[in-house]
Amino acid sequence: MSLRLEVVSTPQRFAELQDSWDTLWHRSSGYVFQSHVWISAWISGISCQKDIRLLIGLAWDGDTLVGALPCAVHRRAGLRVLQWAAQRFSDYCDCLIDPDRPDAMETLWDGIGRAGGFDLIALQQIRPDAHCHGFLQNLAGSGGAIEPGDRQERCMRIENHWPSGHAFFRSLNKKGRNNHTRGKRILSELGGEVAFEVREPDTDVQALLETAVAWKLAWLRQVEPNSPLFTTDYPVFTTLLNAAWRQCPAKLFLLTCGGTMVAASLNFVYGGRMEAYFTAYDPAYERASPGTILIVEYSEWAFDRGLSHVDFLRGEEPFKFRLSNAETVIGSYSGARTLLGRIAVSGHRWLARHRHKNEVAAPQPAEAMAAAD
């Protein structure tokens, strides 16, 4: 049976889809980043940004939603770029496909293409097991308008191979266990009794989240002072955090010292797994590494409850390599759809080749010294 295509471009229509979208999200085993709650919160957060418009493809089998391709078009430097909805804030991006209608992906892609209104395609954060991956890979291999992008990221995780959280802790090397114990001792010397807490969604954590975001901003001022989180991204990020707490399968893990929060992590717990989305710590306690202590504590909590893994999502911070025993490499697909887009891609490639040529031609330090002699 052929599918009916619908292209959604307004927040009002997307809001009306909640029940159908949630049903498809569950059937397709989507990540929280494809949930209606998450995308709705992102839409609310960008409501004042006029350079973004929705372009969401839907595939209907009668009155049943069997496919969804959540995208948006961003205007950048005069170019219109097709991205995933909430791509900047989502670690794993994908479409939603009913397992009984794998043909929905082709309908969705064709429909988005016919709707048009974009020059470039830049779909990122795609897992190898994503619903869209095989289709996009085949499309790229057949000489379509897209190709695998250069952007790849490693997502580290701890796969659960232990009967309990304590067994996981004992599996850490001696230095890791000693650092954990030492950090707790330093915290107790600084402020009193150290405790690990779990806050559930039925509790008010607004003030705690605001404090954690302030810690993150203070850290970014040192390492990434030009981060968009100081400007356009801030209202979107805080809107997402608040919505995630109220409506997503989230938990807030805390490390306290003398009753005062010194580290916090907002994690998603669903489908027998944990995804650590946002972690921050009080820089006044940095010497004790409270963030790492909290990570070990919530990993123990997860494995005591039989969760399959703790996923640290994107980012290659050193602690992830120390604790993880598995990883997933996520990729991207990009391409041009209009003449303007093709000109932009050609210009980018020319600049990249020119830059590489200059780097190769530039004398290395030893060569430069030899030439000076």
Domain that holds residue 186: 161-307
Q: Is 349 a domain residue?
A: no
What number is the average pLDDT over the span 273-297? 96
For 73, what's the count of Cα atoms within 13 Å in the CB-facing half-sphere? Answer: 21
Q: CA end-to-end span of the chain, whole Å?
A: 78
**Number of folded domains that form the chain:** 2
Query: Do residues 131 and 265 share a domain?
Result: no
pLDDT at site 216: 95
Q: Is 361 a domain residue?
A: no
Q: Is 320 a domain residue?
A: no
Q: Is 366 a domain residue?
A: no
334 Cβ contact list (under 8 Å, min separation 6): 120, 121, 122, 123, 146, 147, 149
What number is the average pLDDT over the span 226-251? 94
- Lowest average pLDDT, out of 18-22, 178-182, 322-326, 347-351, goes to 347-351
Per-residue pLDDT at 251 exceeds 60: yes
What number is the average pLDDT over the span 20-38? 97
What number is the average pLDDT over the span 133-139? 95
User: How far is the CA of 38 from the CAs of 22, 29, 35, 224, 283, in angstroms?
Assistant: 11, 15, 5, 26, 30
Q: Is 355 a domain residue?
A: no
Query: Do residues 128 and 209 share a domain?
Result: no
Proportion of the chain above pLDDT 70, given as a percent: 93
- Lowest average pLDDT, out of 212-221, 266-275, 326-335, 358-367, goes to 358-367
Query: Do residues 121 and 221 share a domain?
Result: no
Query: Do residues 216 and 250 share a domain?
Result: yes
What number is the average pLDDT over the span 175-203? 95
Q: Is residue 123 within 8 Å of residue 69, measured between CB atoms?
A: no
Query: Do residues 138 and 228 share a domain?
Result: no
What number is the average pLDDT over the span 184-193? 94
pLDDT at site 368: 32
* Cβ atoms within 10 Å of 198's Cβ, excluding its own: 14
Residue type, 112: I
d(CA 158, CA 11): 37
pLDDT at site 333: 96
Residue type, 267: N
pLDDT at site 17: 98
Which CATH number characterizes residue 226's domain?
A: 3.40.630.30
- Given pLDDT bands bounded at 50, 70 and 90, which one contains residue 77? confident
Q: Is residue 334 within 8 Å of residue 121, measured between CB atoms?
A: yes
Query: Do residues 138 and 179 share a domain?
Result: no
Per-residue pLDDT at 196 exceeds 60: yes
Provide the whole-model pTM. Answer: 0.90
Nearest 5°: the CA angle 133, 138, 144 is 115
Residue of 190, 229, 237 whose CA lies nearest to 209: 237
pLDDT at site 143: 76
Q: Is residue 61 within 8 Å of residue 101, measured between CB atoms?
A: yes
Per-residue pLDDT at 367 exceeds 70: no
Q: Is residue 96 within 8 Å of residue 131, measured between CB atoms?
A: yes
d(CA 52, CA 48): 9
Residue of 315, 187, 316 whose CA lies nearest to 254: 187
What number is the average pLDDT over the span 99-107? 96
Q: Is 266 a domain residue?
A: yes
- Given pLDDT bands bounded at 50, 70 and 90, which one contains residue 126? very high
Per-residue pLDDT at 11 exceeds 70: yes
Query: Do residues 176 and 138 share a domain?
Result: no
Query: Do residues 33 and 112 share a domain?
Result: yes
pLDDT at site 364: 44
Per-residue pLDDT at 370 exceeds 50: no
Query: Do residues 179 and 106 share a domain?
Result: no
Q: Is 30 a domain residue?
A: yes
- Given pLDDT bands bounded at 50, 70 and 90, which one contains residue 373? very low
Query: Do residues 143 and 47 share a domain?
Result: yes
Residue of 68, 138, 63 whose CA lies nearest to 107: 68
9 Cβ contact list (under 8 Å, min separation 6): 53, 54, 55, 56
pLDDT at site 353: 67
Query: Do residues 178 and 87 share a domain?
Result: no
d(CA 166, CA 177): 11
Query: Do residues 171 and 286 share a domain?
Result: yes
Q: Is 123 a domain residue?
A: yes
pLDDT at site 372: 34
Mean of pLDDT over the chain: 92
Task: Report the DSSP beta bridge partners of residue 120.
Answer: 81, 336
What number is the average pLDDT over the span 75-98? 96
